[in-house]
Structure 1
């Protein structure tokens, strides 16, 4: 039976391909000009013939015909007909017309005649959708991708108003951080490779697989309620509008990082180049039990010796010559009829769309001046300068591999579509660092030492997502049903993190000291998470006030569960210590291992049973909504909605005290840590000031919730910076351990002017009020170590302005017709009303001349975001070029209290240049050249205190990169 199915499918594909090769095909989409929605049942014919098609429920059509040049006529009852001249059809190829807009018929107008080129080079659909959308949206479409030549989603989305890119991967909107920005794929929430982020990394999606990317800046009831700055939805293609068979290759050179013989690395596994460990770093047998063999545990000498030798002996970083970055990509896609094609109307024949993409990216980074600093204020009011507690300087080498695979099948008839999409991401990152650690014994809580540390790390992450989606238009009833089911499995593992720090290196006898640089340690971390989302949406079109109206209702349910565990082991010395040098690579030499003397190294487990650094958490989130979109008057559209979400988060975990046997400690067993039932009302009003102008107003209530990690007892060490993240469930003198959601009221106002060829000018104002915002706070009680914790701080608010301009320069001179300038600026003023505890702690360290107020900037909110670009786009010559600038203002990252100053992420002035040239037959070959970080800016976070010089918290230089890429379309 399986063989028969395979043979039948292969025969259908082969038959379709043979027939198709004898003919050509014309494809396109018909939308209604007034609202951007697809037109069902529009007639599309080759002028002067009976050859044609009728559009389906998505407005799509396809016509098969013999090679030649034709005029295509599009018509619909009560709408103005349009003729597209000069449509060329070649044997075995697809001519894609793009989006065609039909206007309502007016008696004084005759049939409109345009050229095929004019249709192809417009971005009509997205602009119309943006103009008529119920909420405030910005975005970029596949038509724009073709014009500007951006290869990946992250390159394209940075052109959207108010968007900034963090780490080259993640999208933030309106300067708000990850907590208030959300990313969805095909309108379904999926976790990213970093499971503690709301944002999915965007550099994994090639633009030729994306239909559009839309950023929703205001909430409407059908959207999830847990975003505030913006929601970014990436919609992948299911029925490619043209045949896709692409191969791409790319290389990138950074003078600061590549071909450097001092690049730090270490010997890993044989499959590191595929983004996962081959078992080289796996936890030794017997290490996970409650008791491991030690000289003091009653185990035999042979057992102890065997256990010590089961660990990988490599503890020191080595040097090699770093290579350039390189990438490869392959994409294929098309749509075919499942029945024999002919020249007759094929509107009712089902079509199969398929798409597949495979990408590989290997990046090498070497930072030769990495700095981490821990600074403190002086207690004396007369001293405004800061003193260091610990300075850490050194070098860090990174090798990052990312493999992405995306595939999809879609089956579409005239009134329904079902699609299956699958995505797999695999990411592996190997890091090796060497650092000099200088600790000042005169600082509060410090012992004073000088240490030399080697750090070896590996992280492997994977994500597997499946989407099953059906859309059904109930013909002639006005009803449409959309349903989606999407399971995701994600993992993150850090196998065998090794830190080896010699203390007292300035003395004659260096040693390991637990109270200084620490004994050599090894950590295994593992995270497994499953997520299942199901949702349906129903839309009913009806008439109100002689205008089209829409009633929407739907429901969704999301289940998530995470298992997390940290296992820790450190080296102990049974026979004292004696070292001839500070070479970490010799520490686990045979002569140093138990039972040999001196040193007598053995491993001790730092894991209690039960493990305080292990937890299981789960979430159940059920949402229902109703929304109504209607014209209250001729020029005023209202979109009113209500969403209700029931959110329950449960946690199983315990604190260190309970794990150590003290029954007074806290132990949670599947206990509710969040339980809320919230109403999220939303109102959007759109007043039309003319055909091309809108005035918009919006009110909505949204929410921001803590992550699994934040609502836990986990203590997560960054072994390089030696900084520790603490889950919020730990109580302190100034914190009760009860972390709650942040509820936000949002007000937005926008005036927007749309002009021809995608030109736009808009001005927006927005206000947000935060109840119990969550921010990362430096824990004041932890003075010997650097520890942070997420906490609810005082209430906050922000007010902002946003400006957007996209303008062709032909208004200056006709010769500048191919030049475009685009810019968007977001300016925000935010404030937090401090709690009495925070304000008192700050007052204790108030300096002379300083007049502290009980308000401060909101953490994670940039005071401004600027995006600007000058581009040249010439469709005929195949040249696209541009220079683009982005900067985000200094942003509070960590809230300091008392002894510790606030930490700010400094502005990073990103200036980039790109040029792409398409040439060859039908412009099938393209070559692109890019320069990133032209200004050679550093990425820095600093401590800021009254009248003190800024001091380094974190600093590294990504350098300037030069990239060359080649793409060929078969």
Structure 2
């Protein structure tokens, strides 16, 4: 009996010493180097102890062990055993290994021993993913983001082959325009803050929330068919491997823009810094009436005066001093063990950006050809020169929960983005009366605009692994709600001569005020089922699934212009003197006139439904050949409620009441063949059929004026003598060939070729009939072809000398030849203005397709001292932007030579502090769009200088 109590005492003593000893955590992910997929069931053990774990369906493991130093062993049947030596476990922070790659054993070998530092970087996993992917893709990992020091996704994605970024936020793939690039979040469609673009604003995602970014360049059946250049997918983190508590601050200074006393602003509100209006710009309720208070409608003087006093009297910008750009972000994330082996993780991030832009050299030009066939010059119709200022704030909140069981994982995320842009412009306008359709005048214009955008997205995702890993099920439901408002857009243009200034409806126009509002809802539901099986004696997968996407948009424009019930007062040239009490009716002669008919031709409702279903199979007919065959079907229906101006004014014309404008069912086959020449070399061949559909705005009767430039967008349903108003979809055939070789680490060399055919591509066309105003319309323009090639390589410079082993050079180049066979109407219009010596052909370049893209970098990266620095260059070739023809020349976007420097340095034993320094636009290049004609000097369509910026950033991880 005494022996029993002694044994019990020894057991309790040992248990208590273990229970209360300080413990640490080792976490990681194990991959099959042969397939690139995670390995399930790998035994992970601290050698010489009983501390161990088995990898789950994500290939992840977790070991809890007392503080100390261990050798960690990874073993799996028919795979080489790996031992990581000298793993130091502390109680402060988990040890993370996200780059465990196991090889199949060829012969009886001993243990493969590596050091702990060799497997901490997960960047190589992206290289494996690219190598073993079933379709052609490129991408970046979270490790790359932290190493390069990019703060948001828009900066990081530029490093990916064939990718360019427009306006600092929108991604184009292979030089194709926005229409042919799609952006998804966690593999689900999500509209951006600009609903007329396929691309999501990439600068809204801080890189510390991103697990990886992948660009799919060839189609597979699982992907929606509405892309051609590529799909950019942003995958956010769900269960963080370690606790994250990050705070970051960055500032940027541009000598041309910041602390500038000539900066202008107007039309401000008390909540602008939060990205939304405080209500001072709201449209008065009476303004929505069919007959607003005015002397024309026989209202009393007091009623009219009270109505006018509800409007903000500010019509002009005033000078103030601009501030520099800055951004703040906070991120917190962690995971916990609950109910035994189950895990619960959370992630929360809040970010805020404020950018100030000031251009003092802006030019907006409208040019024409001369009728004389001997005169090849271009003549101006209107030129605007002046200044433009902008304050842009963007706030974002992302919150997410992830729950993981032994065989399932659930994820819920909520995202809200709020963006506010306050714009002011002052321009001198010169209109040439001798140009066709022009009256001839000079004017001085003040423009005040405010744009607020809100986007809220939810995602609920479930992932299940059933039948001992034979069945995988993934389902996702994601609603997105968008609201965009342009409240009280104001334009005040004084027409002037040598003797006086005035408002003239036939010239600069009377002062105008516009309210625009858009509401959109986007529902996505999809599920994917995978059956893991065998075929040809090798692993095979059979997949099938379905998706449903519903979108609905309500859009409305309400416009008003100032009128005089009597003589026009003398305001001088001060816009802020106009809306004063002494000039408002009945004290003066000013009243408002409504430009809104009932029904409103500039209001519409559109909705679309996309039902998708697919089947695919992934086979390995031989040891070296992988074949992925898929077929996707999509039933797409789009409806529209709206009417044209003729119907609104006269009751005749076109009026649609929830009528079908697209009703198509298409089959989209895809074939991807991957031949593994050896373990590190592939040859890929693929074919797919995809589609591009017009947006809600494009397939409408809307007429949307940009008050700053006076340019007008016309929906594609409008009919003209050379256009039937039947805007249709574009169907594309895609062929791709790629050879790629992977070197140790992340070095790569690849060469690709691609060919695409376009049936009825949609392009933005200058409307020939509209000669007195500048108007554009989306139209199907003919058949198109694109032939291109890509080259990518990344190599460290150790081959020159070992002293340069930390330096690398990377380049990816895309070269494209595009061709559109014109419609007869476009070809004949060009022939009418053919110049002597010119030979007009019935082919031209494709709009939106860049002839080349160059991304190159030279850098230094040293994991040991935490220093990374690089010089990055990006340029896109001159690209047709707007299709002209006849009187109007084509418009091209000129190359912008973007040369940027970035340096990132980490500090501290745990490297929990980082410092970033950057220089943007080192070459001080200019943004320019130009008119281009035969043997004519290029003339400005849009011109401004962004200047050079210097940035500093500091990040601290608690």
Q: In which range does the TM-score fall when normalised by the shorter chain?
A: over 0.9
- The equivalent of 1:438 in structure 2 is 430
In structure 1, how many angstroms separate the alpha carbons of the residues matched to 2:287 and 2:178? 37
- The equivalent of 1:639 in structure 2 is 628
- The equivalent of 2:404 in structure 1 is 412
Quick one: structure 1 residues 21 and 509, their matched pair in 2 at CA, closer, same or farther if it must change by over 3 Å? farther
In structure 2, how many angstroms separate the alpha carbons of the residues matched to 1:182 and 1:711? 19
2:858 to 870, 876, 879: 870
Residue 99 of structure 1: CA displacement? 2.2
In structure 1, how many angstroms separate the alpha carbons of the residues matched to 2:285 and 2:733? 53
In structure 1, how many angstroms separate the alpha carbons of the residues matched to 2:544 and 2:664? 22
Counterparts of 1:673-692 in structure 2 under 5 Å?
673-692=661-680
| Aligned-residue CA RMSD (Å) | 1.2
Quick one: structure 1 residues 224 and 754, their matched pair in 2 at CA, closer, same or farther if it must change by over 3 Å? same
- The equivalent of 2:607 in structure 1 is 618
SS at match of 2:426: strand
1:672 to 635, 653, 660: 660
- Unaligned 5+ residue runs, structure 1? 1-18, 340-347
Residue 509 of structure 1: CA displacement? 2.5
Q: Does 1:511 align with 2:499?
A: no
In structure 1, how many angstroms separate the alpha carbons of the residues matched to 2:310 and 2:209? 47
1:658 to 643, 647, 669: 647
8 Å Cα contact 2:626-2:674 kept in structure 1: yes
- The equivalent of 2:832 in structure 1 is 844
Residue 885 of structure 1: CA displacement? 0.2
- The equivalent of 1:452 in structure 2 is 444
Residue 785 of structure 1: CA displacement? 0.4
In structure 1, how many angstroms separate the alpha carbons of the residues matched to 2:649 and 2:702? 15
SS at match of 1:307: helix
- Deviation string 1:824-859 (CA, Å, 9 cap, x unpaired) is 000000000011110000000000110111000000
In structure 2, how many angstroms separate the alpha carbons of the residues matched to 1:423 and 1:580? 48
In structure 2, how many angstroms separate the alpha carbons of the residues matched to 1:907 and 1:509? 42
8 Å Cα contact 2:627-2:671 kept in structure 1: yes
- The equivalent of 2:151 in structure 1 is 151
- The equivalent of 1:203 in structure 2 is 203
8 Å Cα contact 1:20-1:92 kept in structure 2: no
In structure 2, how many angstroms separate the alpha carbons of the residues matched to 1:148 and 1:589? 55
Q: Does 1:629 align with 2:621?
A: no
Counterparts of 1:160-239 in structure 2 under 5 Å?
160-239=160-239
Residue 753 of structure 1: CA displacement? 0.2
In structure 1, how many angstroms separate the alpha carbons of the residues matched to 2:50 and 2:742? 38
8 Å Cα contact 1:461-1:490 kept in structure 2: yes
- The equivalent of 1:649 in structure 2 is 638
Residue 21 of structure 1: CA displacement? 11
8 Å Cα contact 2:420-2:452 kept in structure 1: yes
8 Å Cα contact 2:302-2:586 kept in structure 1: no
SS at match of 1:698: strand
SS at match of 2:127: helix
1:472 to 450, 464, 479: 464
- The equivalent of 2:743 in structure 1 is 755
In structure 1, how many angstroms separate the alpha carbons of the residues matched to 2:187 and 2:20? 34
- The equivalent of 2:533 in structure 1 is 542
- Deviation string 1:338-378 (CA, Å, 9 cap, x unpaired) is 14xxxxxxxx6100111111100000000001000000000
1:577 to 545, 568, 571: 568
Output the TM-score relative to the length of structure 2: 0.97
In structure 2, how many angstroms separate the alpha carbons of the residues matched to 1:917 and 1:688? 39
Residue 296 of structure 1: CA displacement? 1.2
8 Å Cα contact 2:215-2:233 kept in structure 1: yes
8 Å Cα contact 2:21-2:66 kept in structure 1: no
- The equivalent of 2:338 in structure 1 is 338
In structure 2, how many angstroms separate the alpha carbons of the residues matched to 1:373 and 1:414? 64
Q: How many residues align?
A: 941
Counterparts of 1:512-527 in structure 2 under 5 Å?
512-527=503-518
In structure 1, how many angstroms separate the alpha carbons of the residues matched to 2:218 and 2:571? 65
Output the TM-score relative to the length of structure 1: 0.96
Residue 625 of structure 1: CA displacement? 0.3
1:385 to 367, 377, 386: 377
- Deviation string 1:156-212 (CA, Å, 9 cap, x unpaired) is 111100000111111110000100000000000000011111011111112121111
In structure 2, how many angstroms separate the alpha carbons of the residues matched to 1:920 and 1:321? 39
In structure 2, how many angstroms separate the alpha carbons of the residues matched to 1:68 and 1:151? 35
In structure 1, how many angstroms separate the alpha carbons of the residues matched to 2:108 and 2:45? 24
Q: Does 1:427 align with 2:419?
A: yes
- The equivalent of 2:260 in structure 1 is 260
8 Å Cα contact 1:23-1:92 kept in structure 2: no
Residue 590 of structure 1: CA displacement? 1.4
In structure 2, how many angstroms separate the alpha carbons of the residues matched to 1:282 and 1:23? 59
Residue 22 of structure 1: CA displacement? 4.0
Residue 817 of structure 1: CA displacement? 0.9
- The equivalent of 2:64 in structure 1 is 64
Residue 820 of structure 1: CA displacement? 1.2
In structure 1, how many angstroms separate the alpha carbons of the residues matched to 2:405 and 2:125? 22
- The equivalent of 1:374 in structure 2 is 366
- Deviation string 1:189-238 (CA, Å, 9 cap, x unpaired) is 00001111101111111212111100000000000100000100000000
- Deviation string 1:853-912 (CA, Å, 9 cap, x unpaired) is 100000000000000000110111111000000000000000001000000000000000
8 Å Cα contact 1:122-1:758 kept in structure 2: no
Quick one: structure 1 residues 601 and 697, their matched pair in 2 at CA, closer, same or farther if it must change by over 3 Å? same
Q: Does 1:558 align with 2:546?
A: no
In structure 2, how many angstroms separate the alpha carbons of the residues matched to 1:140 and 1:84? 26
2:795 to 807, 826, 846: 807
8 Å Cα contact 1:122-1:757 kept in structure 2: no
In structure 2, how many angstroms separate the alpha carbons of the residues matched to 1:927 and 1:362? 20
In structure 1, how many angstroms separate the alpha carbons of the residues matched to 2:683 and 2:348? 41
In structure 2, how many angstroms separate the alpha carbons of the residues matched to 1:358 and 1:64? 32
In structure 1, how many angstroms separate the alpha carbons of the residues matched to 2:734 and 2:244? 42
8 Å Cα contact 2:764-2:778 kept in structure 1: yes
In structure 1, how many angstroms separate the alpha carbons of the residues matched to 2:361 and 2:737? 46
- The equivalent of 1:924 in structure 2 is 912
- The equivalent of 1:322 in structure 2 is 322
SS at match of 1:227: coil
Residue 381 of structure 1: CA displacement? 0.5
Higher mean C-alpha deviation, range 30-39 or range 778-787:
30-39
SS at match of 2:295: coil
8 Å Cα contact 1:353-1:409 kept in structure 2: yes
Higher mean C-alpha deviation, range 65-74 or range 702-711:
65-74
- The equivalent of 2:33 in structure 1 is 33
- The equivalent of 2:11 in structure 1 is none
In structure 2, how many angstroms separate the alpha carbons of the residues matched to 1:906 and 1:149? 29
- The equivalent of 1:734 in structure 2 is 722
Residue 477 of structure 1: CA displacement? 4.7
8 Å Cα contact 1:375-1:389 kept in structure 2: yes
Q: Does 1:142 align with 2:134?
A: no
In structure 1, how many angstroms separate the alpha carbons of the residues matched to 2:469 and 2:486? 55
SS at match of 1:125: helix
Higher mean C-alpha deviation, range 175-184 or range 200-209:
200-209
SS at match of 1:585: helix
